Amino acid sequence: MIELTDVHAGYGRIEVLRGVSLSVPRGTVTALLGPNGAGKSTLVKVLSGQLRATSGHVHLGGVHVNDASPDDLARAGLCTIPEGRAIFPNLTVAENLRLMRGDPEIVYDRFPKLGQRRRQLAGSMSGGEQQMLAFSRALVTDPAVLVIDELSMGLAPIIVAELYDVVRELAEDGVTMLIVEQFAETATAVADQVVVMADADDLAAEDLTTVYFGGTR
């Protein structure tokens, strides 16, 4: 469903991704780990069409991302949750959800807490609730492929567990997910496949299934 073959990408003359190949089968969860600066967010940008690969192939549900318009990617069912929670703090929970085309009731069923807070300004909620809302905005679009940058960043373990319960349910419904994760323990518990992006020197990953090389060195 997500297929990258020998992808190179970067910023100007700085090459960040140096030959990344990765395959995420339909309805599975891949966690992407790696130290700061390894290129995880860069990979997310390439997948979502924000940054063009300089070489290599990026396929998403049969769509060639490098040649696709944002509309093509939306039609292929791609939804990205960028780092830093893309929500509108000055709008209510309900308004944030209504801006995405879809049925907010799906969300209130999955996260009753958001239902109770539908009239609260998003910016006045806790960090965990805001991440739940960011995640929910993606859910109402009924995505086929969900790419999430830093799902559990800064959140209490109980909230992380709640979000990952929904991740597993989505996978069972056939949604394909790539999730940038900070914590190896969480990633290995939840993901079908764990991918580490690192310079060769940093590797200590005998218990991880797949390793790819990125970095700016």
Which residues make up the interface to ligand ATP (CB under 6 A)? Answer: 11, 14, 16, 34, 36-42, 216
Complex with ligand ATP: residue 79 or 196, whichever CB lies closer:
196
Q: Which is nearer to ligand ATP, 40 or 110 (CB)?
A: 40
Sheet containing 2-11: order of strands: 14-24, 2-11, 55-60, 63-64
CB 34, min distance to ligand ATP, A:
5
Is the Cβ of residue 13 or residue 101 nearer to ligand ATP in the bound state?
13
Shortest CB 130 distance to ligand ATP, Å: 18
Q: How far is the CB of 84 from ligand ATP (least distance, A)?
A: 10
State in angstroms the smallest separation of the CB of 164 from ligand ATP. 19
SS3 state at 124: helix
For ligand ATP, the closer of residues 16 and 146 by Cβ is 16
Residue keyed to tokens 């960090």: 127
Q: What is the DSSP string of 133-171?
A: HHHHHHHTT--SEEEES-SSTT--HHHHHHHHHHHHHHH
Q: Which residues pair with 78 in a beta bridge?
A: 145
Among residues 40 and 117, whose Cβ is nearest to ligand ATP? 40
Shortest CB 187 distance to ligand ATP, Å: 13
Q: How far is the CB of 9 from ligand ATP (least distance, A)?
A: 9
CB closer to ligand ATP, 27 vs 37: 37
- The Cα–Cα gap between 65 and 46 comes to 8
The answer to whether 33 and 197 have CB atoms below 8 angstroms apart is yes
List, in sequence order, every beta strand (DSSP E) within the chain: 2-11, 14-24, 29-33, 55-60, 63-64, 78-81, 145-148, 176-180, 193-198, 210-213
